[in-house]
Structure 1
């Protein structure tokens, strides 16, 4: 039940279609002070159509609006302010949540159309660092949110399993590698070899040429190069799968860059046929002068391919395979130019669906104000952070609730949840400074705070012998009203998070809802009054249901006890 939609309908019926419902909805505000009402509509935009000043329009609308859902309607300057019928909305919302449960807040906007989401996409033969966390958890949350508004999603882990860096790694392994050591601890050893290559290449620049030649051998199907590459890839996937399992994230496709090797010739040929491929200093490019962009490089002088070649091929493959309505790329801010070029090249090729491709950019994970770098060894390993968070959660459990059942499972849910929430509560466009201390705090605006609120409510329901019912009684209206208004805002919040591709809107909503409940809990004896106990527990159940669903949208589990 959406109070804003009810308000919109009331306004629309009084306006003779002077503004579309979608525009009315976008204009509705929440007054800064509760004494001014629950919702407000500014009449400035109507002044031109009505040829009256906004204050007169507001007064006229107040006289015409009549709804059982409003206790009163007032004109305050150029605003129409409404006070909602608290008892009616409270009853309707609690009944709706009891009936719909985790489906509460769902909408069918997407009509089961497909969205492909390119996320995570780590490079093989390198450890999974904190730098990869953002794409992984932001992308997964966006997928969950898109499903909540009615889309089908295809999560694609476009592995970085091709490119010149593998030629460099092969050179490093042959020069300084030890097979037994690599087999015993592949990712750690390969990382050290990769770092050493770049250190040595600063002195001996010829190493870079040798690395490029080895990658060319790999592209040409050299057996030795392919054997090394296959080994590096297999070991990496084993390592990654362990981390994805910890995060609770799965994928529909692991087709990485190498998957498109035998499909790129078609795209290069098509570019040539359509007269889009131009030779420039021995390389082949698509010019984008009309779009005020630099040319998009398709092939180097030596014939090797680039990211653009593979991403063009991947985009076409994904459209032909999944027939997507939208295609999202959850990749850092620094790749904005690349994805802008990608879309324009595809449109020049005649693929109008490329307009539905969107780069979901995000800020970097910084360490001491600087970007984390694999080649310089400035890495914080994600698995180590997750394990440390889990250990801290376990220590807290042993100190505060040593008799808790399933301690290890709860510690994992809380520790991993702390790391995910710390990322997702930030606007995705902002850089995030890595701080283990901040990430693992268990109070304030954190995942564990919301999880603990959920667990507390679960305990109340058990102690109170909650009996689920649709026959809702309404008590403590004034004390509960801030909670009810937050519950009503779920669907609107989900829509805003979807439209902005920004999970932080869900995270902030959960913090506000948990805070409002904890204020209520501090002021109302939920189990102290037998006559009204079940009515209060109905409210507890509703908040618990919404908190759990909100955490799920972020990719975080909600323990029943902590």
Structure 2
């Protein structure tokens, strides 16, 4: 696999330059491939070596490149060394390339392919808390929460696959002034009977109604403030109603998460930290960080000059807490409870300033671990509609994705007989949603498009699943061929070599994904693997080929299938075997 070749090239570089071989690992990268074009396998960046202090930073960089290349020798691993523009290219012995890349797929645990690379020595491992999804209690799961849920799930999957201990946390919006409104609204417009029949729909209707009423009714707004004050003071009637809303909502959300293939280790919430809020307020007071404005609100001055040009409001004039106050308390509590090495918050980009202020306040309070907290922001989804109109609830989107996919599968002549067509349609539909979402940079807004999303051709989730199912079908159709042993010298066709060269990049793609937490790197790698396998499927028949040739080709396709499935699972996609 890639780590074997990278290590062997680094060893020769280390001997030649009398340096530790580890210093060359980050400068070596596998070369991206094109279907019909021969390329080198690895590339050494001279710029990286200069920036890392391995080479002198002054002098003619091209002359340095050529000088180093002339000192290197071909051997049993590297059969060609060539100079490019500030890079040295290495071509690997073709038979050895096939042997080492496909070797792991003959062992029991194939899930570790690409994950035992030297590259990951440069990543810090430890305890990672990922807070994602985080919908508001007593509201239906809005389609806008889809992005936080699937991005957070990807980050948690990636970190776990790289050896981190991951705590998946759903921090529910289960406290705050909206509960004042909902409590008053339910007492006036709510019905326990309708709450049992369709809980979230009824709470949503009550919330809409009370908000409309509160817009022009001062008494309603005052009653809502009073209800929230009762909650903060633990008055039993208010707490009992709130607890009922919370229990119902968590139960309903879990159905949606199950459909998405998402799970959480911890269901937390703002309410868990209300007790600690008073401690936070006292700490802010003691350290002279809490100021009171003319309006009576409590604020923390965040300006560099101490002139209140930027500040964060942490208390209302009536002494009740705000979202950020509870977030400060939650962060401190998690640091004590989990001793995390990093904490990642996944929310839309409108909350960027909120998290900037949160991390500043934590630093001001003396919590040095605040610099290990990160916010992963994402853009908005535009134009998400179902046939019935504007989308309000995510379940409507999941239902429609399943229905449309089922319709497309029934229309297709290539659809296979399967045990549960609805379940397959649901998995493929969710894959389509995830792939459309993950294609670009997370911070970009994107336009939701049902037709493009569900196309079988092109870079879609349907194409990803179709390629995986097709590879599974090929493996099943040739189950009489034993690919446990294979002759790597029979995989010299360009279609074979490009797949092998592409698989060399898998560890780098995971490494890059771990650095910037963007799923597009892994997704684009998998889509390219699908295109390369589509070409190879035509060029490299298994059935009807001589036994040894069939064995080697089957091993190649089996390896592709396993990498595809492993990568899909990291993205949060459940691979299907038939479609």
TM-score normalised according to structure 2 size: 0.89
Equivalent residue in structure 2 for 1:58, among 65, 85, 99: 65
Check conservation: 1:157, 1:256, Cα contact below 8 A: yes
Match of 1:374 in 2: none
Match of 1:410 in 2: 424
Match of 2:23 in 1: 21
Equivalent residue in structure 2 for 1:232, among 234, 245, 253: 245
Distance in 2 between residues matched to 1:384 and 1:368, nearest whole Å:
11
Deviation of the 1:79 alpha carbon: 3.0
Distance in 1 between residues matched to 2:239 and 2:49, nearest whole Å:
68
Matches within 5 A, 1:320-331: 320-331=336-347
Q: Any idea what the Cα deviations from partners look like across 1:492-535, whole Å, max 9, x if unmatched?
A: 11111111111121111110101111011122222221331011
Deviation of the 1:456 alpha carbon: 1.0
Deviation of the 1:229 alpha carbon: 1.1
Distance in 1 between residues matched to 2:66 and 2:208, nearest whole Å:
71
Matches within 5 A, 1:387-406: 387-399=399-411, 400=413, 401=415, 403-406=417-420
Equivalent residue in structure 2 for 1:146, among 154, 159, 183: 159
| Structure 2 stretches lacking a partner, 5+ long | none
Distance in 1 between residues matched to 2:124 and 2:490, nearest whole Å:
38
Equivalent residue in structure 2 for 1:296, among 302, 312, 315: 312
Equivalent residue in structure 2 for 1:384, among 396, 402, 410: 396
Note if 1:104 corresponds to 2:113.
Answer: yes
Q: Match of 2:171, SS?
A: coil
Deviation of the 1:348 alpha carbon: 1.7
Check conservation: 2:540, 2:553, Cα contact below 8 A: no
Note if 1:467 corresponds to 2:482.
Answer: yes
Match of 1:458 in 2: 472
Match of 2:577 in 1: 560
Equivalent residue in structure 2 for 1:218, among 201, 214, 231: 231
Deviation of the 1:459 alpha carbon: 1.3
Deviation of the 1:383 alpha carbon: 0.9
Q: Any idea what the Cα deviations from partners look like across 1:397-451, whole Å, max 9, x if unmatched?
A: 4444363223333223222222222222332111122333333333321122111
Check conservation: 1:510, 1:547, Cα contact below 8 A: yes
**Aligned pair count?**
555
Distance in 2 between residues matched to 1:508 and 1:523, nearest whole Å:
23
Does 301-310 or 172-181 show the bigger shift? 172-181
Check conservation: 2:16, 2:71, Cα contact below 8 A: yes
TM-score normalised according to structure 1 size: 0.92
Distance in 2 between residues matched to 1:44 and 1:178, nearest whole Å:
69
Check conservation: 2:483, 2:554, Cα contact below 8 A: no
| Structure 1 stretches lacking a partner, 5+ long | 370-376
Note if 1:349 corresponds to 2:365.
Answer: yes
Check conservation: 1:95, 1:470, Cα contact below 8 A: no
RMSD over aligned Cα, in angstroms?
Answer: 2.7
Check conservation: 2:454, 2:462, Cα contact below 8 A: no
Distance in 1 between residues matched to 2:213 and 2:391, nearest whole Å:
19
Deviation of the 1:212 alpha carbon: 2.0
Match of 2:56 in 1: 49
Distance in 2 between residues matched to 1:229 and 1:136, nearest whole Å:
24
Match of 2:188 in 1: 175
C-alpha spacing 1:152/1:472, structure 2 compared with 1 (3 Å): farther
Equivalent residue in structure 2 for 1:186, among 187, 190, 199: 199
Check conservation: 1:385, 1:436, Cα contact below 8 A: no
Distance in 2 between residues matched to 1:366 and 1:206, nearest whole Å:
37
Equivalent residue in structure 2 for 1:426, among 424, 440, 459: 440
Matches within 5 A, 1:190-205: 190-205=203-218
Match of 1:372 in 2: none
Q: Match of 1:480, SS?
A: helix
Equivalent residue in structure 2 for 1:74, among 72, 82, 94: 82
